[in-house]
Amino acid sequence: MTDPSPLTLLSMEQRYQLLVSSVSDYAIYMLHPDGRIATWNAGARRFKGYQDDEIIGEHFSRFFTAADLAAGMPQRILGIAAAEGRYESEGPRVRKDGTEIWVHVVVDAIRDDKGELLGFAKITRDITLKRAADRALFESEQRFRLLVQGVRDYAIYMLDRDGIITNWNSGAALIKGYSEKEIVGQHFSRFYTEEDRAAGEPQRALETAMREGRYEREAQRVRKDGTLFWAHVVIDPIFDEAGEAIGFAKITRDVTEKRRAQEDLEDARAQLFQSQKLQALGELTGGIAHDFNNLMTVIRGSAELLKKPDLSPDRQGRYVDAIVEMADRAATLTSRLLAFGRRQALKPEDIDLGVRLDALGEVLARTLGSRITVAIEIEDKLDAIHADAAELETALLNAAVNARDAMPDGGTLRIAAHNVREEEAVCVTVSDTGTGIPPELLERVFEPFFTTKPEGKGTGLGLSQIHGFAAQTGGRATIKSEVGKGTAISLILPLAKAAPIPEVDERTGDAAWDHLDVLLVEDNDHVRRFARTLLEEMRCTVTVARSADEALGVLADRSFDLVFSDIVMPGRTGLDLARTLRETRPDQHVLLATGYSPEVAGGEAMNFALVQKPYGPKTLAAAIADVLHEGWDRDLPHALP
């Protein structure tokens, strides 16, 4: 049998005495009925500072502050404990060294079996640090509450998990119009419009916040008075320490004025853009008038001279050549305008850009002069592009001429091309080492008739043609320049299609047929007379219609080898006529004429055979031959071989 534990040898009274004496976190001691201290434990010694021989027999009132002593606090504590059996409170107490601590006190009355008061058991705990922490937390919460309540530009409040409002700040009251008493306990969906409520937007907002950790949106909300305002809303879920969702924090800001300012800014930008367009239109109109007046001066003067009866054949030929030359220049000017406006019917084809640039480099090296060094830099395995070859060469030539003019003392003209894989395009850049363009002028260089050259030295259509060609091709043009260092113009052009479009053979202009029966559809009297004469010169029998409706009436009774129609006409357009014939008479050959047409810019007319205005015998004969023999619309049968 083992020896008994030392504790078992002690009496019950001794065990209790040992237990109490060993507790160091609590001051546990007894008082005589008059308040004198009868016992003293380790905890009392630790945080009150007195040893047993210093304090036993002394009155416990020495632990109280002067204010509590004056108020009779010690006697009241003993009186309450004696009368009610227990006293409990928190308050300040004084240590031996005079410092104050904050304590939690419990005083229990001790009575014998007969109910006679023997004294009191007093348990005191030092809670100074806990109280300081609690006070700091309380003050922090108070400051936070004051902060939230002081914010008036934002509605800041909380929702429970079901969307019920649990608190309300002054900003919410100001923005939404409800007082705290009116709104706490209500569902936040009352701020939504009827349409949003019907669409389930409030519930969707809470579900999104819970699922994604945040919900944010700008939308219209409803004030108490029923008026609408634009709100920027953020909803965040709130979780407790265990990670359980307990509700949502919701912040709303009234952004009505901000949106109104944005709308005003957009309106101002639109007005500025309109003003710039009007300015560009004025410059365009003035430039067109100037250039066309020059052309018409030569044409009219030559035509009047041709009326002279005694004019020699040499002079007649010279004047006729002058008229033809001016007409060609007018056609070129119109072509550039149409390209800028994206209204020109281009003829795209698949182009081996490397071969074209090599050839262009040789031409430029011979024509730009010995002081200009031409460098060609082409990426290996350069992809083919899909563009109008003639317009591409015109664009590159325009860029090269501008580069030459920017280098009056000579320099380097570099033409580089590389693939742009991410855009499925090829970038062609023409750069120079010239004078450069000032930043304030750079943003206007693509405007028609705007030029950085001296007056009379440029038409202002070169860069606008480049811009228009690139945009109509499905790409874009960019420009970079630095004064004193040079300029770089880039064309980003789409890649070739998978199935190349066959090239059209050059034509002599002679009619390749013995006879054609043609229905001419044209609303303009002058153009109609000219086209009829031209067709008859080509050995065609011509029937005239002045509108698409009239043409359909004629076609109801007979057929033609070719329908030749203008696109832009009052009522039904030539494109409408072509569509109708494709559906009702798929074997009918159709040729459309275009000078300016939104339909062409949209690209739909490119599904039909086109001839560009102004046209002459060679151009028209080539277009008719394409329709009859090569078949632009290859999916349809043709009446003639």
CA–chain centroid gap for 293, Å, is 46
133 phi, psi to nearest 5 deg: -65, -45
- Residue 543 phi, psi (nearest 5): -110, 135
Residue ranges matching CATH 3.30.450.20 in the chain: 6-132, 151-254
The domain made up of 516-630 is a member of CATH 3.40.50.880? no
Residue recorded with tokens 């874009």 = 476
pLDDT in tens, 369-414: 778 888 889 888 888 888 888 788 888 888 888 888 888 888 999 9
Tokens of 23: 């507790």
- Look at strands 609-612 and 590-594 and give their pairing: parallel
Distant-in-sequence contacts of 211-220, Cβ < 8 A, 24+ apart: 213/237, 218/255, 218/259, 220/193
* pLDDT confidence of residue 282: 59
Q: Is 212 exposed, middle or buried (0-12, 13-18, 19+ CB in 10 A)?
A: exposed
Q: Which residues contact 136 (CB under 8 A, 6 or more apart)?
A: none
Q: In what side-by-side order are the strands of the sheet with 117-126?
A: 26-31, 117-126, 100-111, 86-94
Measuring CA to CA, how many Å separate 488 from each of 43, 379, 559?
Answer: 88, 18, 55
Tell me which residue of 211, 215, 212, 213 sits closest to 188, measured CA to CA: 215
Q: Indicate the range of 42-51, 68-77, 194-203, 346-355 predicted with least confidence.
A: 346-355
Query: 487 with 436: CB under 8 angstroms?
Result: yes
Token code pair at residue 264? 């005003």
Per-residue pLDDT, 577: 92
CATH (residue range 6-132): 3.30.450.20
The pTM of this model reads: 0.36
- Mind listing the pLDDT tens digit for each residue in 437-494? 888 777 777 665 455 554 444 444 457 667 777 877 788 888 888 888 899 989 899 8
- 307 forms beta bridges with none
Task: Decide if pLDDT at 342 tops 60.
Answer: no
Read off the pLDDT of residues 100-153 as tens digits, 9 standing for 90 and up: 999 999 999 999 888 899 999 999 998 888 888 777 777 666 665 666 666 678
Report CA 15 to chain centroid distance, whole Å: 81
- CATH 3.40.50.2300 in the chain, residues? 516-630
> Contact at 8 Å (CB) between 132 and 109?
no
Judge whether residue 74 has pLDDT over 80: yes
Q: Does domain 265-340 have CATH number 1.10.287.130?
A: yes
Query: Which residues of the chain are in CATH 3.30.565.10 domains?
Result: 349-494
Structural class in CATH, domain 151-254:
alpha beta
CA angle 60, 66, 69 (to 5 degrees): 50
CATH 3.30.565.10 fits 349-494, yes or no: yes
* Packing angle, helices 525-537 and 617-625, rounded to 10: 70
Is the pLDDT reported for residue 284 higher than 60?
A: no
